[in-house]
Amino acid sequence: MRSPLIPEMATQEVQLNETLAHLKTESETLKTKLEEERAKLHDVELHQVAEKVEGLGQFVMKTRRTLKGHGNKVLCMDWCKDKRRIVSSSQDGKVIVWDAFTTNKEHAVTMPCTWVMACAYAPSGCAVACGGLDNKCSVYPLSLDKNENLAAKKKSVAMHTNYLSACSFTNSDMQILTSSGDGTCALWDVESGQLLQSFHGHAADVLCLDLAPSETGNTFVSGGCDKKANVWDMRSGQCIQSFETHESDINSVRYYPSGDAFASGSDDATCRLYDLRADREVAIYSKESIIFGVSSVDFSLSGRLLFGGYNDYTINVWDVLKGTRVSILFGHENRVSTLRVSPDGTAFCTGSWDHTLRIWA
């Protein structure tokens, strides 16, 4: 016997389908409008505006230190604000704190998981955060007593439902921002482990994030396997701008020092610069001869140079304003997986699948 409710449900379904069709049309119209608005501002290219700027000379940058000690691929590294200490994490499950001047290891922690894909130094220099396949971000206070077992004081802060891809402390030791293979980013209170805000919008794994320089306010940018770079308002959780011009996964994002732009590095073998006030891509850093993906990018202090670590074991140095490559650096014997310029801009550090870290200057 047919239930009397069925005709009602059929009507409901028809109405929902109509609404759905209407919304789809509206979103297509809005997308077209967005593209039109962005195109209107495209009155000139960045390198044209930079024509009168002096070209850059020859660069001599060499490996000045090699940090050996990891037993497997180095996946991530971060500088301490004191400009000499570095934390690095590896596929072997180890997190090591180094003095980059002397190359001495100061601390070592063994994580309960392999593939520690993310690590970060706390602004105070008194703790490090790390995580990876354990789906968590944990904070380890660094003890002055070298004999103390760091693992005993470990604090679990973030919990995702897939791997942790990146983490960063905000302006203080009190909050951590994380990104995950579960497609979300999240802001956590370190002391309580409480989730303060979550950021939904990526359609696939989020691979990287970077916080805006403190002067420019409470935003951060994230990049993912959905080829999108999203800019978020940290307080509201809202995605305020979105850029989709890369042709593959975005492995790294980094703000330009003024906070008005950010660079990205992707598996499509290009780095790109996005201007936040013009709301569009303004430069592509690529060459036909470069066919391997970019794993990580960072700017020199003035923003004139962009360093990119590539899967073909090299580092390419780009003139941000003119769009040309100024140098190519060799040394690593496997993929460069992570790259950061030091806080005072005197050097940059790279980590590689060849198990080592190198300091370049």
Residues of the shown chain interacting with another protein in the complex, contacts defined by CB under 8 A = 9, 12-13, 16-17, 19-20, 23-24, 26-27, 30-31, 33-34, 37-38, 40-46, 49-50, 53, 56, 59-61, 64-65, 84, 100-101, 201, 238-242, 256-258, 260-261, 275, 277-280, 282, 300-305, 320-321, 341, 344-348, 359, 361
Instruction: Specify the residue, 82 or 191, whose C-beta has the smaller distance to another protein.
Output: 82
Which residues have a Cβ under 8 Å from the Cβ of 149 and sit 6 or more positions away? Answer: none
Instruction: Specify the residue, 127 or 276, whose C-beta has the smaller distance to another protein.
Output: 276
As measured in angstroms, the least distance from the Cβ of 130 to another protein is 25
As measured in angstroms, the least distance from the Cβ of 221 to another protein is 15
- Strand partners for 177: 168, 187
Which residues have a Cβ under 8 Å from the Cβ of 146 and sit 6 or more positions away? Answer: 106, 107
Q: Name the DSSP letter for residue 251.
A: E
- In the chain, the amino acid numbered 267 is D
Instruction: Specify the residue, 135 or 327, whose C-beta has the smaller distance to another protein.
Output: 327
Contacts 24+ apart (CB under 8 A), 275-282: 275/46, 276/231, 276/241, 278/38, 278/41, 279/37, 279/38, 279/41, 279/241, 280/38, 280/41, 280/42, 280/243, 281/243, 281/245, 282/45, 282/46
SS3 231: strand
Instruction: Specify the residue, 75 or 347, whose C-beta has the smaller distance to another protein.
Output: 347
As measured in angstroms, the least distance from the Cβ of 3 to another protein is 10
As measured in angstroms, the least distance from the Cβ of 340 to another protein is 12
Instruction: Specify the residue, 72 or 242, whose C-beta has the smaller distance to another protein.
Output: 242
As measured in angstroms, the least distance from the Cβ of 127 to another protein is 24
